[in-house]
A and B are shown apart, each in its own frame.
Chain A
């Protein structure tokens, strides 16, 4: 009896590590800078809970992530825009099928230097500023100060979303400064008095000021907050995507399940994003 108990104990102890490692995930996530802090947190928490996991997360922009997925150099592309039909056709051309997962939402925030007295702008005013028609803060009730426009690069999903939703597809001002990363936009706006830019909600910090925006010609101004985005009051809200090749899903399915679980969605909220429900 004693012997069989010992044997059972040995068998169980031998099985334990393999059970624990069943959730082990090793994969690469690349793309959107907006998604970057969130994906990093997912990877960190998941890695702590599942020893042996190795999830590397890199930014660069949604376009960069999707290109990496097309070329097979990343497992998951994180994107703050929907994949384009051309990109889907390229995936199909390579004989692969695509899986799309929405992991949360982001409220895109318009930011200025904290010293700027302007605290709210209408969509029309934003369009004027970012397209170069409004060039001085005094034209929108601010100081007599030249407006310095900061934008993300064209490979950024945030760039495309902002152009589509706020600028109604009009061109950015030719003198807009295109930054390679969201962090660079934050840093530049925090250090430049007349600066204006746009970043994901999770990037808001004390060195920059988020503006209330109005999409109804100034009748109602809404502050970019998780709550306002959640109740769909804040008008510049967008889904955040994970894209991956279906046939590779099994390798990181536990990680995706974790993101979509109640625990994962708590992280979404804690990191300043809007959870799925």
Chain B
């Protein structure tokens, strides 16, 4: 009986397996033209939605435990090594010809963050002018909008992290670029009007202007490609106290001198930037040079030259002003006097693809001087008039060397070492190596990163 059952079962299976291809063939034979059209239509619809992203997991080792670092954030007190998900990005782009919508999230062990939320509309007549609204990269310079998944180094330069924390801001952007068929396609102009408050809720009535004009050309033999750009930023936030400090010389003193300002008036953030890029395809592989120089005036606090956005805003108390300025300012930087500094900085990259191999060597040098008015032992020196400067006025330079191995179109390995040097001053001596600035701090950082891009 058992044998009979198993024979019957086997026969049924064979019959079924024989019938399946026959059925499939029959179905294949009945595919109509309208079915194909429907498939094509569905495919075209599906193609409008693009999902992409990348995950960066890394191990880092610092020279000293607990150092402040621009290589992915400060190290926790007492800790000199860490494993982290540096970035976990997922980007959704819906592209319907002349209109796009983009939403991008960042998911790491620190939680879920919103990176991009914007829409772009391209006018359909000349295909030249587009308007973007929402949270997007500030159109300033080259490094801000260069994707972290493509960048050859772990982080952006110190100067960009300081002036443009988080890279994004909330506002509107007008972009002008002729279509590819035009001879003027090599030029691009981006003009933005933004809150100037990062991705935070707006806290004052003022809007910041930001613009970037760039030109890109390739040689006829496709061996060279160059790009040049100029950027401008003008903005500021509302004063929440009546004290503004600016650098001045009084006798032998170079110090912060107090000026009286009106609460609710606007502080000054004004930056000028120049950027240049050159790529060359030659016998040793593709070589790239990239550089950018920035200068201007930054409105910071006594302890930091970082733009008053994101983290440092949320770190202080929240209040609403009263009296004549009521309604003008509801800032979270209430109570912080503004310290205005003239700054300058730059970075330079040399990137060499090693022949036709997946290996790529990179050398980067970047400098940020938050206060060009003073240097060396002038920093934090005792003054008779005004307030003395401090650790927020120290210049830093970073030499980074690294090697990238592009294992596949998805996976990239990066080994990178940051040699960080600080300007020294005999006026900031501290027993703690984390605070002492009389000599170069031991704050170099090694990063080993694995990236998966999809």
Contact = CB atoms under 8 A, between A and B. Distances in A.
Interface of A: 72, 82-86, 88-89, 92-98, 154, 164, 169-172, 246
A122 B220 CA distance: 23
A250 to B, nearest CB: 16
B299 to A, nearest CB: 38
A154 B406 contact: no
A98 B353 CA distance: 13
A82 B221 contact: yes
Contacts of A85: 218, 222-225, 279, 281, 286
Contacts of B360: 92
Nearest to B354: A92
Given A171-B181, A171-B183, A172-B181, A95 B358 contact: yes
Nearest to B407: A95
B409 A72 contact: yes
Contacts of B225: 85-86
Q: Which 7 A/B pairs are nearest by Cβ-Cβ distance?
A: A95-B406, A94-B409, A97-B356, A95-B358, A85-B225, A85-B222, A82-B222
B285 to A, nearest CB: 8
A123 B224 CA distance: 27
Interface in B150-199: 150, 180-183
Contacts of B357: 97
The interface centre, meaning the residue of A85, A89, A98, A170 with most chain B CB atoms within 10 A of its CB, is A85
B408 interface: yes
26 contacts: A72-B409, A84-B218, A85-B218, A85-B225, A85-B279, A85-B286, A86-B218, A86-B225, A88-B222, A88-B286, A89-B279, A92-B286, A93-B409, A94-B406, A94-B408, A95-B358, A95-B405, A95-B406, A95-B409, A95-B411, A95-B412, A97-B356, A97-B357, A97-B358, A98-B356, A172-B181
Contacts of A92: 285-286, 353, 356, 358, 360, 406
Nearest to A169: B183
Contacts of B183: 169-171
A93 B406 contact: yes
A98 B355 CA distance: 11
A97 B412 CA distance: 15
Interface of B: 150, 180-183, 218, 220-225, 279, 281, 285-286, 353, 356-358, 360, 405-409, 411-412
Contacts of A88: 222, 281, 286
A235 to B, nearest CB: 16
Nearest to A92: B353
A172 B179 CA distance: 12
Nearest to A70: B409
SS class, residues of chain A in contact with chain B? loop
A55 to B, nearest CB: 23
A83 B358 CA distance: 19
A75 B46 CA distance: 24
B408 A95 contact: yes
A158 to B, nearest CB: 14
Contact of A164 (B220, B358, B412): B220
Nearest to B178: A171
Contacts of A97: 356-358
Given A82-B221, A88-B222, A92-B360, 8 more contacts: A72-B409, A83-B222, A89-B279, A92-B406, A154-B180, A164-B220, A171-B182, A246-B356
A74 to B, nearest CB: 14
A89 B222 contact: no
B181 A96 contact: no
A92 B181 CA distance: 27
Nearest to B219: A85
The interface centre, meaning the residue of A82, A94, A246 with most chain B CB atoms within 10 A of its CB, is A94
A153 to B, nearest CB: 9
Contacts of A89: 279, 286
Nearest to B360: A92
A171 B179 CA distance: 11
B336 to A, nearest CB: 43
B54 to A, nearest CB: 12
A98 B281 CA distance: 13
A154 B407 CA distance: 33
The interface centre, meaning the residue of A72, A97, A98 with most chain B CB atoms within 10 A of its CB, is A97
B276 to A, nearest CB: 16
Contacts of B353: 92
Nearest to B126: A174
B287 to A, nearest CB: 11
Nearest to B285: A92
Contacts of B222: 82-85, 88
A171 B353 CA distance: 35
Nearest to B356: A97
B181 A154 contact: yes
Nearest to B225: A85
B356 A93 contact: no
The interface centre, meaning the residue of A72, A84, A95 with most chain B CB atoms within 10 A of its CB, is A95
Contacts of A86: 218, 225
Contacts of A83: 222
A86 B223 CA distance: 10
Contacts of A95: 358, 405-409, 411-412
A72 B397 CA distance: 41
A82 B221 CA distance: 8
A101 to B, nearest CB: 15
Contacts of B409: 72, 93-96
Nearest to A63: B180
Contacts of B286: 85, 88-89, 92
B284 to A, nearest CB: 13
A95 B407 CA distance: 6
A83 B409 CA distance: 19
Contacts of B182: 171
B187 to A, nearest CB: 14
